Structure 1
Amino acid sequence: MDNLTGKVALVTGGSRGIGRAIAERLARNGALVAVHYGSNEAAAAETVAGIAADGGKAFAVGADLRAVEGVDVLVAALEEELRARRKPAIDILVHNAGLNFMARPIEVLTVDEFDQMIAVNVRAPVFLTQRLLPRLSDGGRIVTISSVATRVASSGGSIGYPLTKGALDVFSRTLAKHLGARGITVNAVAVGFTRTDMTAEALADPVHLARTIDQTALGRVGRAQDIADAVAFLASEDARWITGTKLDVTGGVNL
C-alpha cells in the first residue's frame, strides 16, 4: 500500500511497542515518519534503521515529555529535521506516548506519579497539538491512543492512568469539532490487553494471561500490529468521513 506517499507523520513514543508498530506501518504505507522517543535513543535508531531497511523513510526526534519544556524541545527538533528535508508541513499526528504506573490504587498513588502521567498523557498532547496546528495540513489526521481502561474499571483499582486517558478522549472529541472546518479529522483508538515489551512481565504469569484471554471475546492477547493497522486506516483517505469517534481495538474486552 502507498496511500500515504508524500505525507509526513509524527508518532510520539514511536521507538518501542505499539508506537514502533505504528511508525513502521505508516512508513510502509509511504509516509515520512518522525519517530519520537523520550529517553531510549538506541531504540529509536533501531526503529528508523528497520524502516529504512524495509524501504521506508523515517528520522528520530528526542524529547522528555514529562518535562515542562518537553514539547518545545520536540517541536524544535522536528522543525529542524523538516527544514533539512524541505517539508513545510505535517499531515498526520499520532499521540501515542503514554506513561502508566501499574497497580496504583488511590490509597498508594503519589502526587509525583500522578503529575508525571498528566504531563505525558494529557499536557503533552494538548500543547504539542497547539504548537503544530499551524504546520498541520488542512485535511490532516490526528489520532490519539486511548485505553479500554476508560470503560472498564480496573480490578486492582488503578485510577491515575484511566483518568488521564479519559481526559484525552474529551480532548479528541472537542478538537474534532473545533478542527472540522479545516477538514482535519481527530479520532481515538482504544487499546486493550496488548503484548509489548512493557507488558511482557505481566503476561508471563500464566494465571494473568489466562484471565486476560478469558476477558477478551476474540480469545487472545492483542498484538501491536493490530493497533497499528487501525491507526493506519484512520490516517488514510478511506477514513475521511470519520471524526470525533473512539475506535475500540481491544478484541472485545469485557463485552
Structure 2
Amino acid sequence: MEILDLDADVLAEHTASITAWLPVRTAPRRIVDLGCGTGAGTLALLRRFPAAEVTAVDSSTAHLHRLREKAAAAEVADRVRIVQADLDASTWPELGTPELVWASASLHHMADPGRTLRQVHDLLAPDGLFAVVELAGFPRFLPKNAPENAPGLEERCHAVLDRHHAEHVPHRGADWGSLLTAAGFTVEDERTVVVDAGPSRTDAVGRYALGSLRRMRGSVAPALTAEDLTALNHLLDTDSPHSILRRGDLTVRTERTVWAARRT
C-alpha cells in the first residue's frame, strides 16, 4: 500500500497535468473513480473540480481505509463517497449517474475489460466523459550502467517482468482506444505523458525506487542469474553500502497514456 502513496507523491505533478488536460465540456459535479487505490486520482480530481463529489470504488478494505484518512487530512472527506466492490462482478452497486468516470491503472486488471467498458458506458450520464489512464510498465530508476557490479540489471529485470505480465496480466498494454470504440464510446483524444524526473536525492524518490524494485523482485527473482539476483538483493538491502537508498543518481522514468472517451 505504501507504494501507491509514494507513486501519488512522486508523480503528483503529472497526475495534475492529466486532470487539467481532460476535455470536459462543463465541470462535472459527480465523478466515479474506478479502482481508486489509496486515492491519488480521487484527491487530484477533487482539487481539479472543487464543486464535485467523487465516488471512490475499490475492492481493497485497506486501500479504502487509507483513502478515508487522506481525504480527512485534506479536509475533503465530505466530498468523497467510499464504495467497496468487485469490479469484475457482472453487476455493480449503485454508483449514481456520473458526468466523469476515471480509471487509472485499473482496467488492465479486469478479467473481461470489454464488459467493464460497456458497464461504464451504461453508467455514464449522456455526453459524459470516461478517462482511462494506463501505465507503460514499472518505472525505471537506475542509470543504464548501474549497478557497478551488474550493469544493465534493471533492463534485464524489466525484460523478465514483461514476460511475466504477458502470461499473468494479459490486458496490460491493450489497445484501449479500439476497445473503447467497440464499447460504444467516441475517443476524443489520446495523450502520452512522459515522466523523466531527476536526478533527485529526495527521500520519496529513494523509497519509491526501493518499494518498486522490492515488488518487482517477487516476480523476476526465479528467472535471474545468481549474479543478477545478488546485485538486486544488495540494492534492496537498506543496510548495504550498495543500497538504492544511498544512490544520488536516481531518476523516475516512465510513461502514462490517457484516453478521453465520450458517451454519445
Give the TM-score of the pair, scaled to structure 1. 0.52
The one-character-per-residue Cα deviations of 1:13-54 (angstroms, maximum 9, x if unpaired) are 3233xxx21221112212422222223x24313313532553
Partner of 2:55, secondary structure, is strand
Give the TM-score of the pair, scaled to structure 2. 0.50
Structure 1 contact 91–140 (Cα < 8 Å) conserved: yes
2:103 paired residue among 77, 94, 105: 94
Deviation at 1:174, TM superposition (A): 0.8
Query: Is 1:209 aligned to 2:244, yes or no?
Result: yes
Instruction: State the partner residue of 2:135.
Output: 146
**C-alpha separation in 2, matches of 1:186 and 1:179:** 17
Relative distance call for 1:173 and 1:182 in structure 2 (3 A) is: closer
Instruction: State the partner residue of 1:35.
Output: 56
1:37-116 alignment to 2 at 5 Å?
37-39=58-60, 41-56=61-76, 57-65=79-87, 70-72=88-90, 75-76=92-93, 79=94, 81-82=95-96, 88-97=97-106
Identify unmatched segments of 5+ residues in structure 1. 83-87, 99-119, 241-255
Relative distance call for 1:143 and 1:186 in structure 2 (3 A) is: farther
Relative distance call for 1:163 and 1:42 in structure 2 (3 A) is: closer
% identical aligned pairs: 16
Partner of 2:173, secondary structure, is helix
- Structure number with bigger Rg: 2
Structure with larger RCO (C-alpha < 8 A, sep 6+): 2
Relative distance call for 1:126 and 1:176 in structure 2 (3 A) is: closer
Question: Over aligned residues, Cα RMSD in angstroms?
Answer: 4.7
Instruction: State the partner residue of 2:160.
Output: 157
The one-character-per-residue Cα deviations of 1:177-229 (angstroms, maximum 9, x if unpaired) are 55797465566768899928963846754647379986xxxx4247xxx99xx
Partner of 1:14, secondary structure, is coil
Deviation at 1:164, TM superposition (A): 6.5
**C-alpha separation in 2, matches of 1:188 and 1:126:** 22
1:202-241 alignment to 2 at 5 Å?
204-205=236-237, 207=242, 209=244, 219-221=250-252
Query: Is 1:172 aligned to 2:160, yes or no?
Result: no
**C-alpha separation in 1, matches of 2:66 and 2:28:** 23
Identify unmatched segments of 5+ residues in structure 2. 1-15, 140-154, 197-204, 216-234
Structure 2 contact 118–184 (Cα < 8 Å) conserved: no
